[in-house]
């Protein structure tokens, strides 16, 4: 799903290697996928993700940039001759160190809306539930999903309508775009995602605050193997595997990959946007 046989055996590509994978056909396929999610605004310029001529793309975890924050990522998959789709799931993946934070504007808002629609019972829905557990315990209050989505977009905590609620310093909403390097598979497909905020409340004790704690460790898909997989959610891939199981299988087959075979289209499941077979290579 995330690259060709050749790309699965390539470590830390130079920019020239990345350019061979990110062909004009692939970029056009990703734009079509984005539009299927309702993302019509211009994405980050491709040049923002390039390394210098002598450098390489190094695999890093999304979670390294947002420690302690929950994350939802959407990964674009454009297999040659197969079904093009976007997988949205909760957790951290390996991607190139060249990632870009998406500033305020229509592109950011459309990414947030797309994740709200495609992440199923995880993603934003899960974060609203976690915040309401915190608010019911300490403020006898709760927020709606619509309020939370508006807050993610405008950053104005007053959108949530809870007196004394603020975001924790260094734990604010972050929307980002990058290029995936999952489990040694360096197809460099487009990804975007959200790192969710953590909150604090004014205490009845003057000068003190009550701090929302993370709900648990962030599930991660490591560059070479699946680690810390408890709690990861996501749709099945065309191989009939979750993203984590797919990572393990790709690692197992990395040095001796099986011949590529066409796969039947899977049933559509929450978190997957299917757009029918189109032909550009990855």
Q: What is the mean pLDDT of each run of 10 residues along the chain (282 residues)?
A: 55 84 91 93 94 87 92 89 84 91 96 86 91 94 95 95 94 96 77 96 84 86 43 35 47 47 32 38 36
- pTM for the full predicted model: 0.77
As for how many domains the chain has, the answer is: 1
Asked, for residue 53, whether it belongs to a domain, the answer is yes
- Residue 153's nearest CA partner among 130, 169, 175 is 175
Asked, for residue 2, whether it belongs to a domain, the answer is no
What contacts 89, CB < 8 A, 6 or more positions away?
A: 72, 73, 119, 122, 232, 233, 234, 235, 243, 271
Asked, for residue 1, whether it belongs to a domain, the answer is no
Asked, for residue 114, whether it belongs to a domain, the answer is yes
Asked, for residue 145, whether it belongs to a domain, the answer is yes
Asked, for residue 116, whether it belongs to a domain, the answer is yes
- Report the pLDDT value the prediction gives residue 5, as an integer from 0 to 100: 55
Asked, for residue 84, whether it belongs to a domain, the answer is yes
Q: Where are the alpha helices (DSSP H) in the chain?
A: 15-21, 24-36, 62-65, 106-118, 123-138, 145-154, 243-253
The rounded distance, in Å, linking the Cα atoms of 94 and 76 is: 14
- Report the pLDDT value the prediction gives residue 53, as an integer from 0 to 100: 81
Asked, for residue 282, whether it belongs to a domain, the answer is no
In angstroms, the Cα distances linking 163 to 21, 44, 127, 198, 203 are: 50, 36, 19, 16, 11
> Domain residues for 56?
7-277
């Amino acid at each position: 799903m995330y690259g060709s046989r050749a790309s699965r055996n390539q470590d830390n590509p130079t920019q020239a290697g990345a350019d061979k994978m990110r062909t004009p056909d692939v970029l056009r396929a990703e734009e079509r996928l984005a539009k299927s999610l309702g993302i019509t605004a211009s994405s980050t310029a491709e040049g923002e993700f390039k390394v210098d001529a002598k450098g390489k793309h190094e695999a890093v975890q999304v979670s390294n940039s947002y420690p302690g924050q929950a994350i939802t990522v959407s990964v674009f998959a454009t297999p040659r001759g197969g079904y093009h789709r976007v997988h949205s799931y909760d957790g951290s993946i390996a991607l190139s160190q060249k990632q870009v934070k998406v500033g305020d504007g229509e592109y950011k808002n459309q990414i947030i809306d797309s994740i709200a629609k495609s992440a199923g019972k995880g993603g934003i829905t899960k974060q609203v539930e976690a915040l309401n557990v915190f608010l019911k315990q300490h403020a006898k209050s709760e927020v709606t999903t619509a309020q939370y989505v508006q807050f993610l977009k405008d950053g104005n905590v007053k959108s949530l309508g809870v007196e004394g609620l603020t975001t924790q310093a260094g734990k604010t909403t972050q929307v980002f775009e990058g290029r995936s390097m999952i489990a040694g598979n360096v197809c460099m497909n487009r990804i975007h995602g959200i790192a969710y905020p953590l909150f604090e409340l004014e205490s009845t004790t003057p000068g003190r605050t009550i701090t929302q704690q993370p709900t648990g460790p962030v599930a991660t898909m490591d560059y070479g193997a699946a680690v810390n997989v408890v709690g990861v959610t996501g749709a099945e891939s065309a191989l009939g595997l979750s993203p984590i199981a797919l990572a393990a299988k790709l690692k197992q087959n990395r040095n001796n990959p099986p011949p590529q075979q066409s796969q039947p289209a899977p049933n559509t499941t929450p978190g997957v946007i299917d757009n029918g077979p189109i032909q550009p290579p990855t």
